[in-house]
Amino acid sequence: MRLALITTLIALGAACTGGEAPAPAPAPAPVVETPAAPPEPPIPAAQLALFTPIKAGTVAPTDKGLVDLGRTLYYDTRLSADRDLSCNSCHLLDKYGVDGTPTSTGHKGQKGGRNAPTVYNAFGHIAQFWDGRAANLVDQAKGPVLNPIEMAMPSDKALVDLLTTIPGYQSAFARAFPAEPEPISYDNVARAIAAFEEHLATPSRFDEYLNGKFSALTEDERKGLDTFISTGCVACHTGAFVGGGMYQKIGLVEPYPTKDKGRSVVTKNKADDFFFKVPSLRNIAETAPYFHDGSVPTLEDAVRLMGKHQLGKQLDDATVGSIVTFLKSLTGTIDQAYISQPVLPVDGPNTPKP
Ligand code: HEC
Ligand code: HEC
């Protein structure tokens, strides 16, 4: 930087002192070595064994028609019985995919029993929902539309019939599913929404760090990462999503007060009582309140409770603060263009009103 400036000044000076005499042949420009950036220290191998950068889902969507349709459906409140709720009502894409409340408000003001997890990076989890009852995003997307306390559509057929009355959807489904004689189906609604969600990835400075740029994390964040590892959080929160890869019991060491039995309701196996999917900690500083019951408003308290219930450790304020400093580096970038709300196709003459 400074060298370049000096070179420019010298060049300017030369130009000014030229005078009237015929200019001598210009001296060859001095070769200026751009100073090499100081070498980045290597990322510790032990850390690279625990975490990987976000990859899947960050590739540009190849099937634009399908993804565009999914985005439109994601924002369309006509997927709900009273035409007042869309996926975005509970998973606000400009709010890191959550609604910021302990439990969401669904059809006719009803409350569910669990906190709405973020849709960002969900494509990378072993399964969907806190209890993993949907194997993947396609299966998941079929749930909320028919759930009587969420979007409360009376049946899958009612939704297909409604979408069929909207001319813009007829053409959009035909474009997204060109090989199919009846492109508007409940399965295809779910496929399109899932295709859109596949690209809701939020890489952060942590990914730059894992990719070799040591200086992408501050010294305090690197210390926090060490604390996160040495405290034992990585027994469960590892991988590209710093979680999302396994089920574990909430209250493994010290029981956690909850009536929700979690995974055992799905597997019918008592051994799975109080097991939940270990949540991803990507964007965790932005997705309060915490835990399946949404009962914990601050990240500091969530970390402290994890120490107590999962590890049997009383974490002091400095340790909690250090871990939180690291966790904040997991806040990623939202692709604003990708999530921008499309113009929804207008009702046809026969589209039913609520
Ligand atoms: C009324 C609020 C509400 C609406 C509307 C809603 N969801 Fe959800 N969503 C939730 C709640 C609550 C959960 C967690 C439920 C559970 O785990 O039992 C959830 C879970 C999910 C998950 C699982 C994420 C994970 O980490 O396991 C995904 C993905 C998702 N929703 C996508 C959608 C899509 C797509 C739509 C629209 C078709 C939608 N949601 C509509 C409240 C809502
Ligand atoms: C034995 C496995 C295990 C260990 C160890 C563990 N966690 Fe967790 N963590 C979980 C599970 C399971 C949940 C979901 C609990 C629930 O909501 O029922 C969770 C939830 C969280 C949440 C809330 C996520 C959300 O979206 O609401 C945070 C934050 C968190 N853990 C951080 C940590 C930190 C920091 C440590 C280390 C001090 C840690 N965890 C150690 C299993 C573990």
Domains along the sequence of the chain with CATH = 45-55+202-328 (1.10.760.10), 64-201+335-339 (1.10.760.10)
Most ligand 1 atoms within 8 A of CB, residue of 67, 140, 242 to mutate? 140
Alpha carbon of 96 to ligand 1 centroid (Å): 13
pLDDT at residue 288 in the model = 97
Measured CA to CA, the distance from residue 252 to residue 273 in angstroms comes to 11
Using one digit for the tens of pLDDT, what is the confidence trace for 120-133?
A: 999 999 999 999 99
Name the residues annotated as catalytic. Answer: 150
Q: Whose CA is nearest to atom 6 of ligand 1?
A: 87
Cis before 297? omega within 30: no
Q: Which bound ligand lies closest to the C-alpha atom of 291?
A: 2
With beta carbons less than 8 A apart as the criterion, state whether 283 and 96 touch.
yes
User: Which residue has its alpha carbon closest to ligand 1 atom 39?
Assistant: 87
For the chain, the C-alpha Rg in angstroms (whole number) is 26
Q: Is 98 in the pocket of ligand 2 (CB under 6 A)?
A: no
Determine the distance from the C-alpha atom of residue 310 to the mean position of all C-alpha atoms in its chain, rounded to a whole number: 24
- 305 CA from centroid of ligand 1 (Å): 25
- What is the position in ligand 1's atom list of the atom closest to the CA of 115? 12
Residues with CB under 6 A from ligand 1: 85, 87, 89-91, 104, 106, 112, 114, 116-117, 119, 122, 125, 128-130, 137, 140-141, 144-145, 150-151, 193
- Give residue 347's identity as a one-letter amino acid code: D
Q: Which ligand 2 atom sits closest to the C-alpha of 287?
A: 26
Tell me the ligand closest to 282's alpha carbon: 2
According to DSSP, the residues that pair with 275 across neighbouring strands are 249, 262
CB of 279 shorter than 6 A to ligand 2: yes
Ligand nearest to the CA of 283: 2
Could you give the angle at which helices 167-176 and 186-197 cross, rounded to 10 degrees? Answer: 70
CA 133 – ligand 1 centroid, Å: 12
- pLDDT, position 5: 40
Beta strands in 250-307 (DSSP E): 275-277
Whether the CB-CB separation of 334 and 203 falls below 8 Å is answered with no
Q: What is the pLDDT along the chain (354 residues), one digit of tens a residue?
A: 444 444 443 343 333 343 444 555 666 666 667 777 778 899 999 999 999 999 755 445 678 899 999 999 999 999 999 999 999 999 999 999 999 999 999 999 999 999 999 999 999 999 999 999 999 999 999 999 999 999 999 999 999 999 999 999 999 999 999 999 999 999 999 999 999 999 999 999 999 999 999 999 999 999 999 999 999 999 999 999 999 999 999 999 999 999 999 999 999 999 999 999 999 999 999 999 999 999 999 999 999 999 999 999 999 999 999 999 999 999 999 999 999 999 999 999 999 887
